Structure 1
Amino acid sequence: MTTKPAFGPRWLITGRLRLTSELHLGTGESRPDDALRGPRMTEDETPDIALVAGSDTGHHYIPGTSLKGALRAWINRHLAQLAPDGLITDDWQKDVFGHVTTRSDRPGAEDDGLGGRVIIGDAEVSATQTIQPAREARIAIDPRTRTVDGRRLFHQQTLPPGTVFNIRVVIETPPAEDGRQLVPSAEIAQALLTAFAGFDTGPEETRIRLGADKGMGKGAAVFELGEVRCYDAEVVRAWIAAGATESWDRSDVAATAARRSAAAQLDHEAASWVPVSDLATTPWSVIIDLDLQVTTRLMATDPEATRLQAERRAQGEEEGPLTRETRRDPEGRPVLPATSLKGALRARAMRILTTLFAGDHTSHRLPDGAAQVAEDVFGSTGQRSRLRIGPMRPTAEPVFAIQEFIALDRFSGGGATGRKFRSRAAEAPGWDVPLILDLEGLTPARRNAAFALVVLVLKDLIDGDMSVGHGTAHGYGRTGGSLRGLRIGGSLAAEDGWQDLALTDGAGRDPFAAEMFRLFVTRQALPALRASGGDRSAPVVKGA
C-alpha cells in the first residue's frame, strides 16, 4: 500500500505596493496618440506613445513575472548578507524559484526541471483608485550642436507616484515524493518578507526598483504589509471542524489560526536574520551625496499642463496668454526630472572628453579609449548605465515666479501679434541627490577613469558651469551646490588610491571637502582620465 505524503504548510502573504516615483513598465507596444500631435504636423503624422501594462483595458498592473524577477534578483544579490551563514545557496534558490534541468546537468535524463514554490500573481491597481497614465516626452541632445536631436524624440506612458498595487503571494509545500530535501516554508516566507523590505529600506544602491529607467529615479516604491498566514495541518483541521463552508483563505476560523501559526514560526525564524537596514554598501559602488542647488530660476516645463491649458483656451474656458508651467509633485514642490539632470551630466562629460582628446574635429569622434570611458559611465546600446540617480528630495520650500515673454517678428523686429506668453518658474530650488556609480566588472584602470570623469563633471556642476532644464540660454537653471558625503564599497576601499577618498577627522565632517576634492582632481582624476583616453588597457595613474 502506498502512503500519501503528509499535508505541507501553505503560506499566504498580502500587502500593497505604493509608488514613490513614476513607473514605466512597458508592454513593448505603442499606439498613435492624437494629443501629441503638434501644430505643424499633418493628419498622418500622429506620434506614437509607448504603453504601460494594462493601458488597453484601463486596468493597470505589474506583471507577476516582473515582480518575481525583481525579488529573485534582490535575494540573489543581497540576501546572503542578511540570512544566516550558508543559507542562500544555489540549491536553496532552485527549490524556491524553480529551475530547468538540462541533459548536460543529468546525462541521460529528460528536461524535467522543477517548478518554483513561490507563486506571485499580477499586482493590480487598487480598486479605489482611478489612474490616468501621464505622457512623458523624452529627447536626445546632439553633442555637437547642443540642441535637441529631432530624430530622437519619443513618448512613453508612466504611472504616477501614489499609485497603489495589491500584492498577493502564495508559498506552496509540494509533496517530496522523490525524497528531495525541501527548504522549510518559514525560511521562504522570511526571505520574501525581507526582500519586500528591500523596496524602501537599506542603502539607496541596494533598493529594489521596477520597470524601465531605474537608473533615472523611476520605479521606486514602498511595500506595506497586509497580513501573513500559514495554513498547516492544524489549521486545516480547525477549518474542517468549523464546517469548511468557505474557501481556505476566506474562512475566519482558518484565518485566525493561520495568522497565529505564521506569527509563531516567523518569530522563531527571524531571530538569526539581520535587518535590511544593516545592509552594507555594495562592494564595487561609489555613492555620492550631492546637494544640488539651482542658483537662478528653474524651468522644467510640464508639457501635459501646457497642453491642457491650451485646450481650455481653445474652448473659451480660459483667457490670457499661455503660461508654461514648471513640473510639480503632488505636494506642489518643483520637480527636476532625473532624465534632465542625467542628460546634462552626460552632455558635460562628452564636452570634457572632447576637450581632453582632440579626436576628429569634423565628426567629433573620440578615440576608442575615451569613448569607452563615456560608455562605462553612461551606457550605450546594449549596455546599461553605471551611473544611477536615486530619488531627488527637495530641500527648500517652493517659491514660484511669473515672467512675461513676447516673441519677436523676425522681419519687423517688433513684437509678434498674438505671441505673448509667460512662464511660472521655480525660484532657486534645491534637492538632495544620491548618485550611485557601480564599477563592478571593470579593470582597475577603467574604474579609475570612470570615477575621474564623474568627478570632473561634478566639479563643473558645483562651480556653476552647467545649466539644467529649459531656458538655459536665457540664464535659467544655473547649477551650484556641494558634495555632502562619499561612501565607498569594501572591495573598492581595499584597492590602492581609494582609501584617501574616505578620510574623515572622526567628527563626521564631509570626507569630500573642497581642498581634498581639488587635490583629487589635479593629482588623480585628470591623469587617470588621460591615461585611459587613447588606450582601453592603459595602466592606472596614481597621484603624485
Structure 2
Amino acid sequence: MTALSHVRFSFTLVVDTDLHIGDGRMCPLETLRPGLSRRRTADDPAQAEDTGPLVKTIVRDHDKRPILPATSLKGVLKEALTGSLDKAEIDRLFGTITGGKHDKDGKTDKRDKTDSGQMGRFTFHAAVLDRSDSPSTFSGLPYFDDTAGTWVATHVAISRNDGTADPRKLFNMEMVPAGGRFLVDGIWFGDMEDAKLSLPRLLAPLRRPDGVSIGSGGRIGRGRVSLGRAADVRLWETAFNPKTGLVDTTPGKSPVILTVPKTAMDGAVKILDFTCDGPFASVDPSPRPGDNRGNLIRSLGRDDARPVIHPDGVSGALRSRAAWLSALHDLGGDDRFRKPETWADPEELTPVERLFGVTGWRGLLRQSFIKQPVAAEHTHYTSVALDAFTGGVLDSTLFEHEVYVGVSFSLALSLDRRVDDDNTPMVTQGDRNLLELLLDDVTGDVLPLGHATNRGFGWFSVTHASPERSAR
C-alpha cells in the first residue's frame, strides 16, 4: 500500500433523540420560518415590524444543510471508548501528542519545538443531514420545515425564586428531529484488513442501546445518535491514479459491507421504566395553520402515537426529588443557580449539585432515553374554568386539552467516568449514596412530568428494569 492509498468508509447515523448543535447565533422566528410565526399584522408599525421570538439556530455547511462537525463526532467516540480500550489503542485510533516542556500552569510552552506524536488512524468528514425522509414523518412537530429538516422547540426557564417554570422566560431552539439521519464519510489510513478489524471497535459505542450523545444537552439525553438497526459500514479501497492525479476507488471492486455487532451497556447503568396510565401533555405553544381555536391547549407530539417528552423536564423532576432526599438526610442543599465565584473546588459542592450540575460544573449523572415515548391513545379532554371567588363553574368557559394516554418510555441513568488531573475518578462515595437513595425512592413510586400535574396529568409510575430486557 502506497502513501496515497487508503480505505474510504461510510455509514448512516440515526438521530434517536432531538438534537441541537448550535452555531452561536440567534435568528428571529419570522426569518427562520417566514409566515408561520405568531407575528401580528396590524397598522401599528411596532407590531408590523415584530419578528417574533429569537431562535437558537444549528450549525450548517455552505449549502445550508445541518451537519455534525467531524471534531464533535470524533470527540464523543473517544470519550465513550476511554475506559473500555487501553490507552495504547486509544492513542493508535485517535492519535496523540507527547513531549514538550510545560510551564507552571501545565500548559505547553509554544516556544519549545520538541513536541512529537502520532496521527490517528482515521478521519471523518462533517456528517450531513439526509433530507430524503418523508415530511409526513415529522409534520406534527412545531414549525417543522422539510427543506431545512428541522423543527423549533420552545422551552421555559426555571424561576430563581420558587424553582418552577417561568412562563415569561420562554426560549426557542432549532432541533433536528428524532428519526432524522446523518450521512457520514470517513477515511481509514491503513489497509482493508486493518480497517475491517479496527472499525468495529471504533464504532462500538454507536451500537450500545444508549448510543452516544452529541451537542447541547447530551448529559440529559438530548442528541443521542446510533447506527440504528442496520449497522452497516461500507468500505472501499482507493489508490492513486497517475493518469488523473487523483485518489480513486480501486476499479472493478465492489464495496465491502461490514456489520458492527451490538454492544452491551455498562453494568453500572440503571434502567427505569416509566408508565402513565392516565393523560399526559407537554404543551405545544405554536400556531397551527387554519386552526385558530383559542379554547384548545395542544400537546406536543410527533404524531398520534408518539408524544414529545423534553429531557430537561425529566432531569428537573429527578433533581427536585434528589434535593428533597438530600435535605431529608442532611446531605446538603441544592442551589441550581449557584455561581462559580461561590466555590473553588468541586468538593465544595453538595451531592445534588455534583450530580446534576451548576454553572461551571457539568453534572456527573447522565440520562439517556433507550426507549422513546409511545402512547396507547391520542384524545381530547374537556374541562371548565372555575370562578376564583365562588369556586363555582363559570359560564361559557369550556376548554379542551389535547392529551396522550398510556404513555411509556425507558430511561438509562449512569455516572460519568470523568477523572481529575491525577487520573482519580471524579465520582465520590457521597455521589453514589445520593444516587442510590434517589433510585430507591422513585422505584415503585410516582414521578409527575409535563403539563397540569396538579390536575392528575402526567403521573408516571416508575419501575426498575434489567438492561437486557430494556435493550430488546
Q: TM-score range by the shorter chain?
A: 0.7 to 0.9
User: Which has more strand, going by share of residues?
Assistant: 2
Deviation at 1:329, TM superposition (A): 3.8
Structure 2 matches for 1:258-269, cutoff 5 A? 259=255
- TM-score normalized by structure 1? 0.65
Structure 2 matches for 1:316-395, cutoff 5 A? 322-329=295-302, 332-357=305-330, 372-393=350-371
Question: Residue 29 of structure 1 aligns with which residue?
Answer: 25
Give 2:8's match in structure 1, choosing from 9, 12, 27. Answer: 12
Question: Residue 249 of structure 1 aligns with which residue?
Answer: 248
Paired residue secondary structure (1:169): strand
Paired residue secondary structure (2:12): strand
Cα pair 1:102 1:113 within 8 Å, conserved: no
Deviation at 1:374, TM superposition (A): 0.7
> Does 1:426 pair with 2:404?
yes
Instruction: After superposing the two structures, state which structure 1 stretch, 410-419 or 448-457, moved more.
Output: 410-419
Q: Deviation per CA, 1:46-104, whole angstroms, max 9, x where unpaired?
A: 43221111299642111222223233334444344xxxxx86164x25xx546487456
Paired residue secondary structure (1:312): coil
Cα 1:439–1:198 shift into 2, 3 Å: closer
Paired residue secondary structure (1:161): coil
Cα 1:458–1:299 shift into 2, 3 Å: farther
Looking at structure 2, the residues matched to 329 and 451 of structure 1 have their Cα atoms a distance apart, in angstroms, of: 36
Give 1:450's match in structure 2, choosing from 412, 431, 434. Answer: 431
> Does 1:154 pair with 2:150?
no
Cα pair 1:28 1:51 within 8 Å, conserved: yes
Cα pair 1:143 1:350 within 8 Å, conserved: no
Structure 2 matches for 1:229-244, cutoff 5 A? 229-231=236-238
Question: Residue 281 of structure 1 aligns with which residue?
Answer: 266
Looking at structure 1, the residues matched to 368 and 457 of structure 2 have their Cα atoms a distance apart, in angstroms, of: 24
Cα 1:276–1:99 shift into 2, 3 Å: farther
> Does 1:219 pair with 2:223?
yes
Paired residue secondary structure (1:349): helix
Q: Deviation per CA, 1:180-218, whole angstroms, max 9, x where unpaired?
A: xxxx7743564334323421x2363xx322212122222
Deviation at 1:258, TM superposition (A): 7.1
Structure 2 matches for 1:32-111, cutoff 5 A? 32-34=28-30, 46-54=52-60, 58-80=64-86, 88=89, 90=91, 92-93=92-93, 97=95, 99=97, 102=100, 109=113
Cα 1:416–1:38 shift into 2, 3 Å: farther
Cα 1:7–1:152 shift into 2, 3 Å: same
Looking at structure 2, the residues matched to 372 and 439 of structure 1 have their Cα atoms a distance apart, in angstroms, of: 19
Cα 1:78–1:20 shift into 2, 3 Å: same
Deviation at 1:140, TM superposition (A): 3.8
Q: Deviation per CA, 1:211-241, whole angstroms, max 9, x where unpaired?
A: 1212222222233435201235xxx6xx77x
Deviation at 1:397, TM superposition (A): 5.4
Looking at structure 2, the residues matched to 383 and 143 of structure 1 have their Cα atoms a distance apart, in angstroms, of: 18
Instruction: After superposing the two structures, state which structure 1 stretch, 125-134 or 22-31, moved more.
Output: 125-134
Question: Residue 296 of structure 1 aligns with which residue?
Answer: 278
> Does 1:192 pair with 2:199?
yes
Question: Residue 122 of structure 1 aligns with which residue?
Answer: 126
Cα 1:73–1:478 shift into 2, 3 Å: closer
Looking at structure 2, the residues matched to 388 and 463 of structure 1 have their Cα atoms a distance apart, in angstroms, of: 21
Paired residue secondary structure (1:198): helix
Looking at structure 1, the residues matched to 125 and 418 of structure 2 have their Cα atoms a distance apart, in angstroms, of: 33
Cα 1:29–1:473 shift into 2, 3 Å: same
- Please say which structure displays the higher CA radius of gyration: 1
Cα 1:153–1:386 shift into 2, 3 Å: farther
Looking at structure 2, the residues matched to 396 and 73 of structure 1 have their Cα atoms a distance apart, in angstroms, of: 31
Paired residue secondary structure (1:22): coil
Instruction: After superposing the two structures, state which structure 1 stretch, 467-476 or 334-343, moved more.
Output: 334-343
Deviation at 1:143, TM superposition (A): 7.3
Deviation at 1:403, TM superposition (A): 1.1
Cα 1:324–1:483 shift into 2, 3 Å: same
Cα pair 2:375 2:406 within 8 Å, conserved: no
Cα pair 2:127 2:184 within 8 Å, conserved: yes
Looking at structure 1, the residues matched to 333 and 168 of structure 2 have their Cα atoms a distance apart, in angstroms, of: 23
Looking at structure 1, the residues matched to 163 and 403 of structure 2 have their Cα atoms a distance apart, in angstroms, of: 22
Cα pair 1:28 1:50 within 8 Å, conserved: yes
Paired residue secondary structure (1:88): helix
- TM-score normalized by structure 2? 0.73
Q: CA RMSD in A?
A: 4.5
Cα 1:340–1:280 shift into 2, 3 Å: closer
Deviation at 1:390, TM superposition (A): 1.7
Looking at structure 2, the residues matched to 108 and 384 of structure 1 have their Cα atoms a distance apart, in angstroms, of: 33
Tell me the amino acid that sits aligned with residue 230 of structure 1.
E
Cα pair 2:200 2:261 within 8 Å, conserved: no
